[in-house]
């Protein structure tokens, strides 16, 4: 298993001027680890991370779009896997933070925890490249190649959930960040 903070630190080292979508705890942590105007944290409704990512990938085919999704979030919109695969944007990377819990909602287990095969679902939906990464060493070794593949790419990262701590996510959803994101898109 990959410790949550290790996963984000390793990933952050491999990011360029990519559009990165993250949710809840990952959004708050990524703000500190990788402050960047192309961070996109205003997904709004749980379950829509991949949909926002798809819109950005279609709207900016010149930019790599990386969605750091939650397993509970993806369960809310499993059909989005099929929608993404149908559109098949080459610049779309879907990283699943597979920690088995609703991290921001009390740490309750997701249905099907440790049984549901997210890689199998992504493969069956039609993602071009599918990976499962279970250790920090493997993540360090493989993530660069994963991010460089032609999309849509899916990778399930096996994350150690750790404790669920109540946090304030309001800073990740500030209007200023959305304005900054829009401006950055127009100038890059």
Partner 1 sequence: MQTVDHTAKRHKTREEQPGSASQRKAAGVLHGAAVIEAIRASGLSYVLSVPDLFTSSGLLVPLAQSNDPPLLRLSREDEGIGIASALSYCDKRALLLIQYTGFHDSVNALRAVTLDYKLPLVMMIGLLGHDPEKAPRDSPRRGVRLVTPILDALEIPYHAIHDDSHVGLIKPAIEGAYATATAVALLIARKPVFP
Beta bridge partners of 131: 155
Q: How many CB atoms lie within 10 A of CB 148?
A: 11
From the CB of 147, what's the least distance to partner 1, in Å? 20
Cβ neighbors of 2 (< 8 A, separation 6 or more) are 133, 134, 135, 136, 139, 157, 158, 159, 160
2 versus 18: smaller Cβ distance to partner 1: 18
**Nearer Cβ to partner 1 (118/159):** 118
Helix (H) or strand (E) holding 130: strand 129-133
Least Cβ distance, residue 81 to partner 1 (angstroms)? 8
Shortest distance in whole angstroms from residue 150 CB to partner 1: 20
**In a 3-state reduction of DSSP, which class is residue 50?**
helix
98 to each of 22, 73, 82, 87, 170, how far by Cα in Å?
A: 13, 10, 19, 24, 24
SS3 call for 48: coil
What is the nearest approach in angstroms of partner 1 to the Cβ of residue 80?
6
Which position has the token pair 């819990």? 101
Least distance CB 19 / partner 1 (angstroms): 9
Shortest separation between residue 169's beta carbon and partner 1, angstroms: 13
Residues that bind partner 1 (CB under 8 A): 40, 42-45, 47-56, 58-60, 77, 79-80, 82-83, 86-87, 175, 178, 181-182, 185-186
Q: Provide the angle, in degrees to the nearest 10, between the axes of the packed helices 79-87 and 49-59.
A: 10
Considering the complex, state which of residue 61 and residue 109 has its C-beta at the smaller distance from partner 1: 61
């Amino acid at each position: 298993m990959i410790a949550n903070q290790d996963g984000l630190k390793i990933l952050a080292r491999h990011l360029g001027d990519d559009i990165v979508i993250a949710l809840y705890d990952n959004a708050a942590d990524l703000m500190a680890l990788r402050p960047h105007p192309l961070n996109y944290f205003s997904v709004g409704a749980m379950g829509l991370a991949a949909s926002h990512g798809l819109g950005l990938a279609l709207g900016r085919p010149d930019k790599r779009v990386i969605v750091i999704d939650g397993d509970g979030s993806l369960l809310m919109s499993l059909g989005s896997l099929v929608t993404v695969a149908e559109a098949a944007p080459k610049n779309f990377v879907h990283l699943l933070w597979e920690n088995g819990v609703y991290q921001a909602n009390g740490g309750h287990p997701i249905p099907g925890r440790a049984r549901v095969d997210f890689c199998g679902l992504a493969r069956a939906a039609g993602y071009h490249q599918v990976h499962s990464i279970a250790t920090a060493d493997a993540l360090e070794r493989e993530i660069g190649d994963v991010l460089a593949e032609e999309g849509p790419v899916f990778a399930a990262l096996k994350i150690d959930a750790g404790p669920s701590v109540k946090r304030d996510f309001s800073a990740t959803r500030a209007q200023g960040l959305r304005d900054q994101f829009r401006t950055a898109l127009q100038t890059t």
